Amino acid sequence: MKIGFIGLGNMGAPMAANLAAAGHQVVGFDTAAPMPQGVTQATTAAEAASGADVVITMLPNGQILRAVAAEVIPAMRQGAILCDCSTVDVDSARAVASDAAAAGLGAVDAPVSGGIGGAQGGTLTFMVGGADADFATVQPLFDIMGQKAVHCGDAGAGQAAKICNNMILGVTMIATCEAFALADKLGLDRQKMFDVVSTSSGYSWSMNAYCPAPGVGPKSPADNDYTPGFAAELMLKDLNLAHQAADSARADTPMGQLARDLYERFVEDEDGRGRDFSAMLPRFVKRNG
């Protein structure tokens, strides 16, 4: 396929490189980042999009996505598909899909989980919203960039799945970290705590796969002085999106709200910026109730 790829940062660059390595013709555009191997540079987003079968965007937020979409939609050929892989608010995802449809284009929102490692290794999970036919067209590309693509429903459903998942992740990480800090104060050995919880009803991905305690469980950012991994400010971004979605859908999400407030304090007022989101553990250890 001929692919336009816009936004070649930490995630977009390896995703585009994997598509090029698989034999697709990839034309890229980024306002700052260099082109990865195998990707031809365009001088504007519209140039990258013109003539493409699929245009993929991997951008920082919904506002930038809306601006880029306004530029590329008129440049795309009829029947082409706009596939946004960024994490953005549900309203922006739906607005872009509706503008694309009005211009005779297909559109899917396809945010990812798996982080930079998953983007490099081609093992991302895609959560996809959009029409069946559009999903089917883009699926071979998801198969190259990832290991799994779940078609979640209509436009916006991918973003909805992503922010619900990450709201659970933020809440369970905080619960896991505060429980470790409590265990410390009760004199319980961290390894014993892991051995019990990871095989009991308190288990979760945060405990079992990404344990926030250094030297315990599988290797995780905790074993690398909390170098991200998944940075605390990206978790805050996703919790803010969950908060915004809950507000507009009138959903009651008290734990998500509290997780958002804690990550906001951690990133803005404490030493959380630039650290992995599991660095909540040393934060709780330092504090007294």
CB 134 within 8 A of CB 105: no
Q: Which of 2, 162, 237, 286 is catalytic?
A: 162
Identity of the amino acid at 115:
G
What tokens does 140 get? 């071979």
Give me the residue whose beta carbon is nearest to ligand NAD.
9
Q: Classify 179 as helix, strand or coil.
A: helix
Could you tell me which residues are beta bridge partners of residue 255?
none
Residue among 60, 140, 215, 218 that touches ligand NAD (CB under 6 A): 60
Contact mark string toward ligand NAD, 19..58, x via CB under 6 A: ----------xxxxx-----------x------------x
Active site residue 219: no
Task: Find the shortest distance in angstroms from Cβ 3 to ligand NAD.
Answer: 15
Q: Is 258 left (phi over 0), alpha (psi -120 to 50) or beta?
A: alpha
CB 27 within 8 A of CB 3: yes
Nearer to ligand NAD, 116 or 285 (CB): 116
| DSSP summary character for residue 9 | S
Residue among 4, 12, 28, 221 that touches ligand NAD (CB under 6 A): 12
Distance CA 80, CA 86 (A): 19
Angle at 187 between CA 182 and CA 189, to 5 degrees: 90
Instruction: Kindly state the number of chain residues that form the binding site for ligand NAD, as judged by CB under 6 A.
Output: 26
Residue among 21, 116, 144, 188 that touches ligand NAD (CB under 6 A): 116
What tokens does 145 get? 């960039």
Task: Find the shortest distance in angstroms from Cβ 199 to ligand NAD.
Answer: 29
Distance CA 124, CA 180 (A): 29
Residue among 142, 210, 226, 230 that touches ligand NAD (CB under 6 A): 230
Distance CA 44, CA 30 (A): 8
Q: Which stretch binds ligand NAD (CB under 6 A): 16-24, 60-68, 147-155, 269-277?
A: 60-68
Q: Is 8 in the site for ligand NAD (CB under 6 A)?
A: yes
Nearer to ligand NAD, 112 or 242 (CB): 112
Catalytic residues: 162
Q: Which residues contact ligand NAD by CB under 6 A?
A: 6-12, 29-33, 45, 58-60, 64, 68, 86-87, 112, 115-116, 230, 234, 237
